[in-house]
Amino acid sequence: MYKIHIIKGHIQYIYLIIYTDKILLVDCATRADLPKIKNYIEEKLHRKMQDIKLAVVSHMHPDHAGLAKTLQSKYKIPLLAHPYATKWYSGFGGNLQHVIDVFLAWYVSIKQKNPPRRMWYSAKFKIDYTAKHGEKLPFFNDWEIIYTPGHTSHDISLYHKQTHVIYLGDVVLKIKDKYVLPMPVTLPELMKESLKRLSETDIKTILLAHGGLDSIENSRNFFKDIIKRLNGQNQKMPALIRWVSFFPPCIKNIENC
Ligand SMILES: [Zn+2]
Ligand SMILES: [Zn+2]
């Protein structure tokens, strides 16, 4: 069986799923998080970076894919993401969105009063393993993919059926003790389907990129409550976020992704 270790990353939590012979990294953090992850693995766990047999990119945002390219090129760690992931920042609109998203991550970091760190990262990398809904993770067959788009076209959650644990990436956030939807929800219809799918999944523990680990009593009610908030969400979204979050080509035509 595995153990979950949580690292407080630059603006998000990073989860290490530790087995005696291998480590699963969830997810690929910000670019500023490399020393934290490396120190944790080497100093605290007395393991090697190469013990990470797989690094998951839940979606392409700077706090989830920031280290992907470095982990792949420097440490030869294979990456897993949804097949739509690399299309998100493609073309003119995608490139523009990438620049905007790095600025937004930088803004969040300042608001959290974190020390200034470099956030720029390359979003151009090859995915070693693409992951679709219902598939098992390579090297970690006890974990399966639940496709949970809505925040982006390609969000994936990781579900451990035996222990009822799920990593939700940015599908749900916990801010000031309240569960909220991410900002933005770029594809609200898909988000609704994702939350419905999650409400039909037997979940007892949630791992949030923004909010940490939590136990939930009844996953059906938990996600149904969140679906109810979906309708008001985009109206409540600050105008700035609304106007600067809709450039990726996949938003206009998800079939082409
Ligand atoms: Zn995100
Ligand atoms: Zn995030």
CA of 142 to the centre of ligand 2 (A): 25
In terms of phi and psi (left: phi > 0; alpha: psi -120 to 50; beta: otherwise), the region of 150 is: left
**What is the Å distance from ligand 2's center to 211 Cα?**
10
Sequence-distant (≥ 6) Cβ neighbours of residue 90 within 8 angstroms: 248, 249
pLDDT tens-digit profile of 147-181? 999 999 999 999 999 999 999 999 999 999 999 99
Which ligand is closest to the CA of 63, given by its number? 2
Whether 232 shows a pLDDT value over 80: the answer reads no
Task: Give 206's pLDDT tier (boundaries 50, 70, 90).
Answer: very high
pLDDT at 241 over 80: no
In the reported structure, the alpha carbon of residue 201 is separated from the centroid of ligand 1 by a whole-number distance in angstroms of 22
How much distance in Å is there from the Cα of 32 to the middle of ligand 1?
Answer: 16
Q: What are the tokens at 151?
A: 């925040």
User: For the CA atoms of 27, 135, 139, 66, what is the dihedral angle to 10 degrees?
Assistant: -20
Distance from Cα 243 to the centre of ligand 1, integer Å: 16
Burial bucket for residue 111 (CB in 10 Å: 0-12, 13-18, 19+) = exposed
Which ranges constitute the DSSP H helices of 40-129? 62-65, 68-75, 91-111
Q: What local confidence, expressed as pLDDT, does residue 234 receive? A: 62
Q: What is the DSSP-derived secondary structure letter of residue 40?
A: I
Which ligand sits nearest to residue 173's alpha carbon?
2
The residues whose Cβ lies within 5 A of ligand 1, an ion, are 61, 170
Q: Which residue has the higher pLDDT, 205 or 116?
A: 205
Q: 55-65 burial, b for 16+ CB within 10 Å, e for fewer? A: bbbbbbbbbbb
For tokens 């005696």, name the residue. Answer: 20
What distance in angstroms lies between residue 38's CA and the mean position of ligand 1's atoms?
A: 23
Amino acid at 185: V
Tell me how far CA of residue 176 lies from CA of 74, 142, 172, 211, in angstroms: 37, 32, 13, 9
| Residue 240 pLDDT | 77
Q: Are 179 and 173 spatial neighbours (Cβ–Cβ below 8 Å)?
A: yes
- Fold exhibited by the domain 3-244: Metallo-beta-lactamase; Chain A (3.60.15)
Q: How many CA atoms lie within 13 A of 249 on its CB side?
A: 15
Among all ligands shown, which has an atom nearest to the Cα of 27? Answer: 2
pLDDT at 242 over 80: no
Mean pLDDT of the chain: 94
Cite the beta strand spans of 131-231 per DSSP E: 136-137, 140-147, 156-160, 165-167, 173-175, 178-180, 205-208, 212-215
Measured in angstroms, how far is the CA atom of residue 81 from the centroid of ligand 1?
A: 14
d(CA 145, CA 159): 6
At 125, the pLDDT band (50, 70, 90 cuts) reads very high
Q: Cα(45) to centroid of ligand 1, in Å? A: 28
In the chain, where are the structural domains located?
A: 3-244
Between 236 and 248, the more confident residue is 248
- For the stretch 55-95, pLDDT in tens is 999 999 999 999 999 999 999 999 999 999 999 999 999 99
Q: Give the pLDDT confidence score for residue 257 in this predicted structure.
A: 78
Contact 9, 108 (CB under 8 A): no
> Residues 163, 168, 172, CA angle at the centre, nearest 5°?
125
Angle between helices 188-199 and 219-236 (to 10 degrees): 170
Q: How far is the CA of 127 from the centre of ligand 2 (A)?
A: 19
Q: How far is the CA of 200 from the centre of ligand 2 (A)?
A: 24
Query: Closest ligand to 152 CA?
Result: 1
